[in-house]
Structure 1
Amino acid sequence: MKIGLRILLGYFLILGLAAWFVLNVFVAEVKPGVRATLEDTLVDTAQLLAQLVAEDVKQGDLSHATLLTRMQNYAQRSVDVKISGVRKASLDYRIYITDAKGIVIFDSELRDVGKDYSRWNDVYLTLRGQYGARITRTDPTNDESSIMHVAAPILDNNNDGKARKIIGVLTVAKATSTIRPFIERSQKKILQRGFWLLLASLAIGISFSWWLNRSLQRLQHYAKAVTRDEKISLPDLGNNEIGELGLALESMRYKLEGKEYVETLMHTLAHELKSPIAAIQGSAELLREDLPAADRSRFLANIIEQNARQKQLIDKLLALIKVEKQQSLVAAQSIKLNELLDQVALDYAEKIQAKQIQLTLDTTPLTIQGDQLLLRQALGNLLDNAIAFSPASSAIHIEVNQHVENVTVEIKISDQGTGIPDYAIDKIFERFYSLARPDAAKSTGLGLPFVREVAALHGGEIQLANQSLGGVCACFRLPLG
């Protein structure tokens, strides 16, 4: 399982557990919270009404009490309102009053007058100077039938300075089912918003996981490409820990590659310079002797030739080192391919004329993106090889083909030489490896490695293959710009 997916699953598991816990707590607290609000309202209402009816209760003639008559008739009022989206079509208070013994002396619903309520908690506790409240079910098996009763003491409004005594109890009752729509609405909103919050958190988690996985994949691709010795630049990983890790890997890569590269380079360079140095030393020692003028001129020419060979070897090796260490094009430019090939042909016009070779160009006016100097040198190396291995008075053909489906262009340079021996097919791109040329001049063996590096630097490739009718076809592929 990929690390990004693991992080996402872990994140979602933690988020899910936290959301489940929080939502459960919120949903569970809605019901008692709303009930507490209802009880608080009933307390205020009971206290207010107890104060208003105190004088009537003290007088004992409740049948003619105007306030109590109005309280009895209040439920008959019509009402149609919406509270937070919940419709209210009835008035739900029930009010009853008991005397100091707990006997009901007033009931807004006219059903329990004369009954003994002294054992109910609301009346019992209030008569003893405590807070009296109870929740009673009309149907013992149904919690929805619960009714909340909150009582307030009715005090004797005397003015004789003595302690006021409780002369009765006023209870306000209301069914808890009337607040159920508010509870359900609140719970529904909490669940809905919790769902959207969870969904948004999941989207954030997926985005973070995608970003992390994408950054790690880019870093992994970079590391694998480095392992395969491909030319690749460190991708932009941002200014974060992953970006710092990428920079550290790139720094380590440069140090390791540099050490290995120097060791290999010094070994191969020392090997390749042995032959010209030995030839120079042998000729120089012979020149110490008294030799005929012709021999002296021949040995002196050999020293100059071997010295030029060393210089050519070092110059080409430095050019190869530069392009090998370059991981990307610094400043690519638009290049007209037909003009570039004309320049390459002009560069080698003298060699072509010297061997009386017929060069034909079959070009197309295409534009590519790249480094003109490097491409000119790379294509020149291919043309130089074709000239070197071509017989006198033969032909060299340069052809350009465009492949629209994969957006590439092929530059083919074909000659009529002897071709590449089977044993050399897999070695021709190795550094310092070269084949004997018809003119017996030994090359540095750095031309084709240089071409391969330039092709890779431009996102292309180079292939050499023998033709069925003789000769070699060098196919240089580049992406179209």
Structure 2
Amino acid sequence: MPLGVRIFLVYFLFVGLTGYFVLSTVMDEIRPGVRQSTEETLVDTANLLAEILRDDLKRGTLAQSQLPELLQAYGKRSPQADIWGVRKTEVNHRIYVTDARGIVLLDSSGAAVGQDYSRWNDVHLTLRGKYGARSTRESADDPDSSVMYVAAPIRDGERIIGVVSVSKPNRTLQPYIDRSQRRLAWLGAGLIGLGLLVGGLLSWWLSGALRRLTRYAQAVSEGRRAELPRYRGGELAQLAEAVERMRVQLEGREYVERYVHSLTHELKSPLAAIRGAAELLEGEMPAQQRARFVGNIAGESERLQQVIERLLSLAQVEQRQGLEERVAVPLRELVEELLQARIRTDVKIENLLGADAVVMGERFLLRQALANLLDNALDFTPAGGTIRFSAEREDGNWRLALFNQGEPIPDYALPRLTERFYSLPRPGSGRKSTGLGLNFVAEIAALHGGELWVGNVEGGVEARLTLPA
């Protein structure tokens, strides 16, 4: 399982379970919280009514007072109140008053006058000087039909002469409970969703950063050129820098060993030729033969210089992981510049490149690559032959083709053309080059994100250099 998925799953479980438990706990607390708040209001109301009713109950004039009419009128009121989105169209309080024995003297509903309520907890406990409250279902089979009753004592000095009880049906509170739970559910779901989204983005970013670093390490281990991922500070940036330092140190050691091995291998032959010629020159010989040996020394010395220069240039390119600049380079202009410095009167050179053939890259390196290809084509083109530059656009790239008339490349040599130090004898002289030119061009092509292909075509040989447009 990918690391990013594992991070997200852990984050999902943590946020999801935490959010679920917190949300469920708060949801469970809404109902008792609303009822507790309502009970506190009923306590205040009952105590206020106890003070209002005290004198009439003490004088025994409760039935003759205006309270029965007032309670009846109260029950008929229609508030038409809009309370936080819930419409209230009727009053819901029921108020009843009992004497010291628990007999109902006054009932706002008119249903219980004369009944004995001394057994109900609200009246029973209040008459004994305790806090009296109860919750009773209007229908035994319906838990939502419960009604909350809160009572307050009516006192004459220290003596309790009656009880006033105020009730509130719990069903009238349910719309507020449902509304709060809905809002909380949406808000909680939104917060959990936002948390998961943040966790997903964090996991995606972290796994993407690690994937880029992993791809870079794999490319380095496989010997491919890759660009070091860039991070803005933090542990990832430190890790990337550490991997890059390790790559430089490891590649440096391996490259020096390979470089020295290749250099010593290629220097043996010209050094042996120079040494042999020098030893022969120490003796007496005709002037013509002496001149031939001096010429051999000069030729081999020049070859040594070419090998060293080409190896140094190749080493610089091979050690680079990216381009130092990326500018628009017109191919036709670049080829014209090269042709002015390399002129063979016995070879016809055609530049069929259009002005629109422009590639993105490092001009200096591209000039060196084309110079190597042109030198190679000139070496293998016989007198009277043709060299032709052309290009075509293909899939966002320019494919530059350099054709030269001449003998086809042997089949055994085709797969080794870009191999370091591998070279074919030049027509006429039979001499070989350093064998670094095509290898150098292939490295430059790879550095630009392109490729080099060399093969036989009708009438000669063609080198194709693919570069990004």
Interval containing the TM-score (normalised by the shorter chain): over 0.9
Partners of 1:361 and 1:194 in 2: how far apart? Answer: 71
Matches within 5 A, 1:264-303: 264-303=258-297
Distance 2:62 2:179 in 1: 41
AA partner of residue 150 (structure 2):
V
Aligned to 1:468: 458
Question: Which residue of the partner structure matches residue 225 of structure 1?
Answer: 219
- For 2:350, the aligned partner's letter is T
1:121-158: CA deviation from partner (whole Å, max 9, x where unpaired): 1111111211110001121111111110101111114x
1:432-451 matched pairs, under 5 angstroms:
432-438=421-427, 439-451=429-441
Query: In the aligned structure 2, how far is the partner of 1:235 from the partner of 1:345?
Result: 40
Deviation, structure 1 residue 218? 2.3
Cα deviation, 1:301-336, whole Å, max 9, x if unaligned, reads 322322221111111100011111112111222222
Contact 2:98–2:162, Cα closer than 8 Å, also in 1: yes
Shift of 1:360: 1.5
For residues 277 and 142 of structure 2, the distance between their equivalents in structure 1, rounded to whole angstroms, comes to 120
Any conservation in 1 of the 2:99–2:163 contact (CA below 8 Å)?
A: yes
Moved more, 147-156 or 248-257: 248-257
Find the counterpart in structure 2 of residue 160 from structure 1. none
The whole-number CA distance in structure 1 between the counterparts of 2:49 and 2:260 is 107
Give the aligned partner of residue 24 of structure 2: 24
Check conservation: 1:317, 1:446, Cα contact below 8 A.
Answer: yes
Cα distance in structure 2, aligned partners of 1:50 and 1:402: 99
Would the aligned equivalents of 2:63 and 2:105 in 1 still touch at CA under 8 Å? no
Q: Which residue of 303, 307, 313 corresponds with 1:309?
A: 303
SS in 1 for 2:130: coil
Distance 1:402 1:179 in 2: 76
The whole-number CA distance in structure 2 between the counterparts of 1:413 and 1:227 is: 34
Question: What is the TM-score normalised by the length of structure 2?
Answer: 0.95
Q: What is the distance in 2 between the residues matched to 1:417 and 1:148?
A: 109
Contact 1:389 1:417 in 2 (8 A): yes
**Correspondence for 1:371:** 362
* Mapped contact 1:72–1:107 kept (Cα < 8 A): no
Identity of aligned residues (%): 46
Partner of 1:161: none
Q: Is the 8 A contact 1:461 1:478 kept in 2?
A: yes
Task: State the AA in 1 paired with 2:19.
Answer: A
Deviations, residues 278-297 of structure 1 (Å, cap 9, x unaligned): 22222223333344444433
Count of residues paired in the alignment: 467
- Superposition pairs for residues 34-73 of structure 1, below 5 Å? 34-67=34-67, 69-73=69-73
Per-residue deviation at 1:69? 4.2
Answer yes or no: is 1:410 the counterpart of 2:404: no
CA distance in 1 between counterparts of 2:92 and 2:388 reads 104
Name the residue aligned to 2:181: 187
Deviations 1:192-216 (A, max 9, x none): 1122222222322232232223223
Residue 333 in 1 paired to residue 324 in 2? no
For residue 238 of structure 2, give the secondary structure of its aligned residue in structure 1: helix
Task: Quote the Cα distance in structure 2 between the aligned partners of 1:421 and 1:393.
Answer: 22
Contact (CA 8 Å) 2:152, 2:164: kept in 1 or not? yes
Moved more, 449-458 or 192-201: 192-201
Cα distance in 2 between the residues matched to 1:4 and 1:17: 20
Structure 2 counterpart of 1:234: 228
Deviates more, 1:318-327 or 1:207-216: 207-216
The residue type paired with residue 325 of structure 2 is A
Query: Alignment partner for residue 210 of structure 1, among 201, 204, 209?
Result: 204
Q: CA deviation at 1:72?
A: 4.2
Q: Which residue does the alignment assign to 1:125?
A: 125
TM-score where L is the length of structure 1: 0.93
The alignment's C-alpha RMSD in Å is: 1.8
